[in-house]
Structure 1
Amino acid sequence: MSVEWAPPGVDPERPSVARVHDALLGGMENFAADRSVARKLRTAVPEVVDLVWCNRAFIGRVVDFLVREAGIRQIIDLGAGLPTVENTHEVAQFADPTSRVVYVDLDPMVEPHARAILNGNPCADAVTADARDVAGVLGHPAVRRLIDLSQPTAVLAVGLLHLFSDQENPHALVRAYVDALPPGSYLAVSNFLASESPKAKALEVMLQATMGTGHFRDRPAIERFFDGLRLVEPGVVHFPEWHPDERVPGPLAPWEELLLGGVARKP
């Protein structure tokens, strides 16, 4: 069996969240281990690909709101993953070309591929860093070059916090980022929703079995990420319900109820 080439710092035998997402979306920046996990996730919840695209659409609507309506011109995208379509900088800079975006991800494959897509974009960059290292992220030269933390800034933590167990205290992590931001800044957060839904239970079990992570939380725990902030209407809701491009048609599908997200402003 041939061994897949991997860049320095990447273990092709160990699946990563960014590359599994890439495999689910039909991308090429993944390895056999990642594709194996993607197949298992599709078996457990066949709509998981729809779920990933729903996540991308939510991010797009959030970023468009932040730039067009909230007046934000600086965005830090934590756990950004591998570039796909309608990336954060593309949405932000379509709304305002002066928008500045920094992508942050732990997977070493993200930075070079993001920079290839950025193609010398002076207002966007990507860094390899652990989102749990708040000082390391905010003090990174690329972040310091593009993001002026004395001015309102948005931090996106979408598709990230369910990777952290309660023992890792993701609420304190979010609070550390918020505390570093000036008034008028924004936070966008999402998390898988714990419920009795068979699809929720199947996905949680499969994520734990294949990735060793995937921490579903109840609504109060997800809402606590926004403590001290002013939620943007309609509050913490399922993705299709947050500023939909069109009216949400009827009841949500079971897979659409697997995630909750919201956006809030720091007063």
Structure 2
Amino acid sequence: MTSRLPDGYFRSPTVARVQDHLDGGTDNYTSDRDFTHDLFAAAPWLPASVRVNRAHGPRVLNCLTREYNIDQVIDLGCGLPHDDNRYLPDEVRRMVYVDSDPGVEAHARMALAERHGTASLRADLEDMPALLAAGPIARLDHGRPIGVLLHDVLPWISDETAHTALAALRSWLPPGSVLSVTHATTDTAPKAMASLTRLYAKAGIGFRPRSGQQIRDLLRSWTPLEADGPVTTASWRHPSRLHPHWDPSHAYAILASPGDRTS
């Protein structure tokens, strides 16, 4: 089934296409490139941030498969296909790519969901019952753990939607499941983040980078799996590679489990 693109889809920037342009991709248009020029002026580190945060995905997949024995994964807000989210460890047997952007889902259907055991789905975190009931997700084996990638998604939704989506996921996931979150933060480069927020708002896009404490508050019902709490995506699992005075990610990485669902 083909998703119809909304009128004016190519005349205004979208988050996925802007990210694609920042990463040197070609799936973007004049509206995205013009807007990205303004973003880059406010935060020259943005291309490095996009690359670092995207490279986090394969490292997390390796962690989920090798440390937590997870072989079925949902990538919520998968974004446009790129080298990092084309990567799948051999241990991953089922992968569902999900995005609310109809253009992204069409690309995912062609370029990502081409391997045996993979599927794509257009769905929105604002309607979690429909998302979790959709065929590709409903067909996952709910008797075994499931990994969920929620990478660079929460900054683009409201607190209310984030809390509702996280609560629905926590109730639905089977024991042993793991949630991986990355989230842009105001703890680093706060002035640049404020400028980016204003620029996105002018384009009609809500951007909500949050402090480390605000991110912890969103995940307060989840059980952290790493003792050192949120760390930047650039320093996650390889801090020795970081220059001590420059971290390009401007985002935190967190692993969490649903924990005790009685709380």
Same fold (TM over 0.5): yes
Question: Does the Cα contact within 8 Å between 1:77 and 1:157 map onto a contact in 2?
Answer: yes
Question: Does the Cα contact within 8 Å between 2:147 and 2:178 map onto a contact in 1?
Answer: yes
Structure 1 residues 117 and 203: alpha-carbon distance in aligned structure 2, compared to 1, 3 A threshold: same
Say yes or no: does 1:106 pair with 2:104: no
What is the CA distance between 1:197 and its match in structure 2? 3.0
Of 61-70 and 106-115, deviating more is 106-115
| CA distances 1:62-91 after superposition (whole Å, capped 9, x unpaired) | 11101111111111111110000121x623
Output the aligned Cα RMSD: 2.1
Query: Matched residues in 2 for 1:28 and 1:250: separation?
Result: 30
What is the CA distance between 1:222 and its match in structure 2? 0.3
Question: Does the Cα contact within 8 Å between 1:150 and 1:181 map onto a contact in 2?
Answer: no
Give aligned pairs, total: 253
Kindly provide the amino acid, as one letter, of the partner of residue 149 in structure 1: H
Gap runs ≥5 in structure 1: 1-6
Say yes or no: does 1:263 pair with 2:255: yes
Kindly provide the amino acid, as one letter, of the partner of residue 129 in structure 2: A
Kindly provide the amino acid, as one letter, of the partner of residue 106 in structure 1: S
> What SS does the aligned partner of 2:234 have?
helix
Q: Could you state the TM-score of these two structures normalised by the residue count of structure 1?
A: 0.86
Q: How does 1:1-267 map to 2 (within 5 A)?
A: 8-10=4-6, 11-87=9-85, 90-93=87-90, 96=91, 98-118=92-112, 120-145=114-139, 147-166=140-159, 168-195=160-187, 197-233=190-226, 234-244=228-238, 247-253=240-246, 255-256=248-249, 258-267=250-259
Q: Could you state the TM-score of these two structures normalised by the residue count of structure 2?
A: 0.87
What is the CA distance between 1:199 and its match in structure 2? 2.6
What is the CA distance between 1:216 and its match in structure 2? 1.9
Gap runs ≥5 in structure 2: none
Kindly provide the amino acid, as one letter, of the partner of residue 136 in structure 2: A
What is the CA distance between 1:122 and its match in structure 2? 1.9
Kindly provide the amino acid, as one letter, of the partner of residue 180 in structure 2: A
What is the CA distance between 1:208 and its match in structure 2? 2.5
What is the CA distance between 1:189 and its match in structure 2? 1.4
Structure 1: 4+ residue segments shifted above 3 A:
none
Identity of aligned residues (%): 31
